[in-house]
Structure 1
């Protein structure tokens, strides 16, 4: 690609935004302190050039990148042009790239897989060739089969750059790509960026806080910022000429990049130095506004007299090229999720254990406790407790798995959605397409372990119903936790909140820990809005209306229940050892408010209960699909940007 095909230009850009963190109360009432962050910033960068934005912390470097990428929250004045066309969010997402300071990649994927499963318009052989080319350009070929969690910091940063280069951006923004790197790796990263700019014709804008002298030859342009003001912008070679002309020559053997950065930084070591440096910087800013026009448009290649060609030639280069279809993007994300899960690497084995074996392991522990259940009077309470533990296990394991597995994919989604690659609905559809089959297999294996204590495996239909009800409970817990994680970043807080809701529902609605008939009216009717009521009612009916519970069970091996009144279940019994005449009397005590026949009153109706159990599960899936479409407040989205 010929240098000069693409030109990024900022003209008199002002940006106002939040200048310091505010409390939650201030956010709610709208009391957020704002100020001018960028003040009259103008700059230009051409294809094939590398521009370094230099400044101390708080100078506005990251804000400048956010303004160019259209991610900034707040009023923006001025023009941001790409080939004389206004830079819109859609244009940036399609033709530009942004490497943020922190990027969370999916563990379990190799370097090559991470690049290959980045959604782009390329497919098949062309994409594989592009991946190999990018890895070679970024010196990553030797670690192509290494998982992302085992990369060094330098390799990780280069992989982050490769994820953007795989999309062939015409403008590439990088926020502190050399932060915390040693001198050798800093030189390596900047030299690689310079080579990539020349090879791909990409205009690269990167921020640096402590530039080293050995990166000077790789920077065609430089922009010095101080508290949002431009001290100098233009070619790095012309920078020496400019500062020498205004009376600030760089001493010999000094690093010019660092020397002029110190010159552009407010000295806060004392009040006198603060005032003096402030006046000096203000004078430098005004001086550049008057005399820096020619240098602003110049570069080390074209010289200070270069001017931007505003002819129509630049507009001939296509900008909006379209995006890959939702089907192609969804297929790429789905394969990425499968590759991260079905693998013999440590991260993949961990996911496989959580998805497939955690619930069966819990049910096996239940089996060891309940395997000696006898057909005696106490089995009513024991089997009711077994049902409760089955429900609790499905709910809590679903929550634990979601807390441990979903956040890493959620974070990657928030980062990629800012790039316009896909939306929340597509992300959830692909995640559920992977998660649901695994959860069905896990629940089926777990039920095969425990069901012989409840019913006969020979009755395949009853066993299938048992699996489906517990699967619906697992799905509901999973989706409930995913909804909470939409707005709660901390995993532990989300887990506690989800477990608390589930515990309340199990306690009040299942009819196991306490009888539903003992609830207050408003709580009783509230149980109709919980899934646990219908799931517990279905399982209780399946167990306690079986032939085994059709008549009174003996109290123990010595005391038989022969004179139990089959109508009154707990108060008018002639046998002091026996409480329940049969399974129906036990269910009446747990679910009926007026001692009516619960079997025929609709409370334990099979079709209704299993239908509503699944309605809650899949209704929660639909709710999440809509939830991830709702625009969130800026302060909520900011939690997931880094």
Structure 2
């Protein structure tokens, strides 16, 4: 276990990587422009200190945080108390807070902290939550939804999620970005107090430091294009630059003045060359004279060490507890009266029944005449396809925040994608079960007898399997595609392909070549569509349906006796003598001859079982997909 007074030291760190954005294909093929991002970076910091890494855009500030957190490889040494700081050790004892961290919408401030993934629980965690909210000035907004927080409150809450785990090193990427002066002062002062109170080493990046935060910074590191211009205590900053001929003018902000001094001037070619030479001279000067400055100790009067700093909170929680906390997070974000909770509840429970109610409005007057074969087949098609598309829409809207949070927390090693999907399915499956059965109850009276419990149960189960399949397909696509609109378009395109191919409604199987017919066996739609049609168009209900109240269909059967009030003339619109004939035309191969009820393709239990086999199979597939290591550029998309 690390002592209460410790030192983090970087020695001659070099890091190379991508120096400018590349296209998707460039990243895929590895054809991107790379270069040296960090050049011989060395500095040290102690426990209880706040160190600011200052530099203009492109100076290597974020890359330096990635190097310290061991998220990227580097040459050189990163030592914690003289021992190399490895990736697993960083994950178990330290934390990195990204500037673009996204929290789960729908949760309150207190819920966000209470449902963070830590080892502690119960009374200890409740006490820690209250303490952190007090330290970060969040107690007054404890019940406020995270989506309604100000920028400053949101930024402090993001920091609190990590502070509640009591890290020994806390890295912060631009914690004051886009904050007004008052909130910038508040955030930095809070961080300084936290460093002193808990004995935590805090390293943060800033692009435009203000003069009023100067007293809260124990050390500063100036970077320019990956080179160190200065690294040492802030109290030595003025003396050092004054001794080398660059005194800070009176009434100037020293932090900003020396930042401008270590920034390349690109306003003209002459200034660019001149500033480059000046910065190169500053870098060389610091390499010669900066070692003594860098080693400068603030002394015990400059920082307060917590003698009782023992890490109990940090580290990875157990697997079962992690899944349980993820499950509680999702339930808490759904079951609340806030805007986000109402939205989630409505989308999960009401969107599909509303769609089916609209179908009922259009189809409830359908009667059992010859056109019922087409009408009811169209209703089944719309029910199945609507279930697919609404499932896709709901998943795009609801799963995105959990996916983004997963990609950020997985970088900390907190849990795997399989844990996220298990928690998601535990929440989603009961909701989809309820909405599928409620929707089925709306249109089933048009198709069959609602008192026939078994038929209704099977009908609803097939719709449920369709919902699950589309949901899991969307989750698989969203693993790679960040933009919700693009993910929706891709999913709808894929769904349209297998719906057109295998539904049997848009095009009969008899029109397919043999290879295309056998291709339908690879789709969920084939089994769901055949099951729904087979359950509706069954004997003897759909035998010899009349064309209308006045016209029978004696042209296609000899089983109907003539009657005085029925016109027995043949009618060209009397196409199907029975439901069996309709099913034979729509769902059999080109050269099929025989009784469809004697083939396994039309077996009810078989089609129901295969429908759920597809849904279960894609659930298992997603578990493996989310365990696979992804290319760095995909992870970066969600992280940033």
Does TM-score exceed 0.5, indicating one fold?
yes
Q: Is the 8 A contact 1:565 1:574 kept in 2?
A: no
Distance 1:457 1:124 in 2: 49
Residue 265 of structure 2: aligned partner: 267
CA displacement at 1:319 relative to structure 2: 11
Q: Identify the match of residue 439 of structure 2 among 440, 443, 446.
A: 446
Report the Cα offset of residue 303 of structure 1: 10
2:547 corresponds to 1:555: yes
Give me the whole-angstrom Cα distance separating, in 1, the residues matched to 2:597 and 2:363: 27
Distance 2:96 2:573 in 1: 75
Other structure's SS at 2:232 match: strand
How many angstroms apart in 2 are the aligned matches of 1:380 and 1:179?
64
Task: State which of 590, 599, 604 in structure 2 corresponds to 1:601.
Answer: 599
Aligned-residue offset at 1:4: 5.7
Q: 1:301, CA displacement in angstroms?
A: 3.6
Q: Extract unaligned runs of 5+ from structure 2.
A: 560-568
1:585 counterpart = 2:578:
no
Q: Secondary structure at the match of 1:45?
A: strand
| Residue in structure 2 matching 1:289, options 287, 290, 302 | 287
Residue in 1 aligned with 2:623? 625
382 and 619 in structure 1: CA distance in 2 versus 1, 3 angstrom threshold:
same
Instruction: Report the equivalent of 1:506.
Output: 499
| Residues 85-110 of structure 1: per-residue CA shift (max 9 Å, x gap) | 21111111111111101111111100
- 1:82, 1:319 → 2: CA distance? 19
| Residue in 1 that maps onto 2:64 | 64
Structure 1 pair 431–344 and aligned structure 2 pair: CA distance change class (3 A) = same
CA shift in 2, pair 1:7/1:167, >3 Å: same
SS at match of 1:445: helix
The answer to whether the 8 Å contact 1:589/1:595 transfers is no
Q: 1:637: how far off? A: 1.5
2:10–2:44 contact (8 Å) kept in structure 1: yes
Q: Secondary structure at the match of 1:547?
A: coil
Q: Provide the C-alpha distance between the structure 2 equivalents of 1:444 and 1:83, rounded to a whole number of angstroms.
A: 61
Aligned residues: 625
Q: In 2, distance between residues paired with 1:124 and 1:513?
A: 58
CA distance in 2, matches of 1:611, 1:109: 38
User: How do residues 204-219 of structure 1 correspond to structure 2 at under 5 angstroms?
Assistant: 204-219=202-217
Please give the alpha-carbon distance, in whole angstroms, between the structure 2 residues aligned to 1:623 and 1:503. Answer: 21
Structure 1 contact 95–320 (Cα < 8 Å) conserved: no
Provide the residue aligned with 1:340 in structure 2: 333
Q: What residue in structure 2 maps to residue 309 of structure 1? A: none
- Please tell me whether residue 21 in structure 1 is matched to residue 13 in structure 2: no
Q: What is the 5 A alignment of 1:167-206?
A: 167-206=165-204
Distance in 1, matches of 2:312 and 2:557, equals: 85
User: Is contact 2:106-2:147 (8 Å) kept?
Assistant: yes
Q: 1:543 & 1:91 partners in 2: Cα distance?
A: 62
Contact 1:3 1:201 in 2 (8 A): no
Indicate the residue corresponding to 1:411 in structure 2. 404
Between 404-413 and 631-640, the greater mean CA deviation after superposition: 631-640
SS of aligned partner of 1:134: helix
Return the alpha-carbon distance in structure 2 between the equivalents of residues 434 and 86 of structure 1. 42
CA distance in 1, matches of 2:7, 2:109: 32
- Tell me by how many angstroms 1:576 deviates: 2.8
Q: C-alpha separation between the residues in 1 aligned to 2:55 and 2:558?
A: 86
The two structures, once aligned, show a CA RMSD in angstroms of 2.1
Matches of 1:566 and 1:46, distance apart in 2: 98
**How far apart, CA to CA, are the structure 2 residues paired with 1:164 and 1:29?**
36
Q: 1:268 deviation in Å?
A: 1.2
Cα distance in 1 between the residues matched to 2:313 and 2:453: 57
Other-structure match for 2:531:
538
Mapped partners of 1:302, 1:56: distance in 2? 32
CA distance in 2, matches of 1:432, 1:210: 45
Of 178-187 and 588-597, more deviation after overlay is shown by 588-597
Distance 2:2 2:404 in 1: 37
The answer to whether the 8 Å contact 1:238/1:300 transfers is no
Report SS of the residue matched to 2:386. Answer: helix
Which position in structure 1 is the counterpart of 2:457?
Answer: 464
Instruction: Determine the structure 2 residue equivalent to 1:610.
Output: 608
Report the TM-score, using the length of structure 2 for normalisation: 0.95
Structure 1: gaps of 5 or more residues: 307-313, 568-572
In 2, distance between residues paired with 1:575 and 1:634? 67
Does residue 80 of structure 1 match 2:78?
yes
Deviation string for 1:387-411 (max 9, x for gaps)? 1011011111100100111111100
2:366 paired residue number: 373
Cα offset, 1:299, TM superposition: 4.0
Report the Cα distance in structure 2 between the residues aligned to 1:161 and 1:436, rounded to whole angstroms: 33
Deviations 1:272-314 (A, max 9, x none): 111111111111111111111111121444699x9xxxxxxx9
Match of residue 570 from structure 1: none
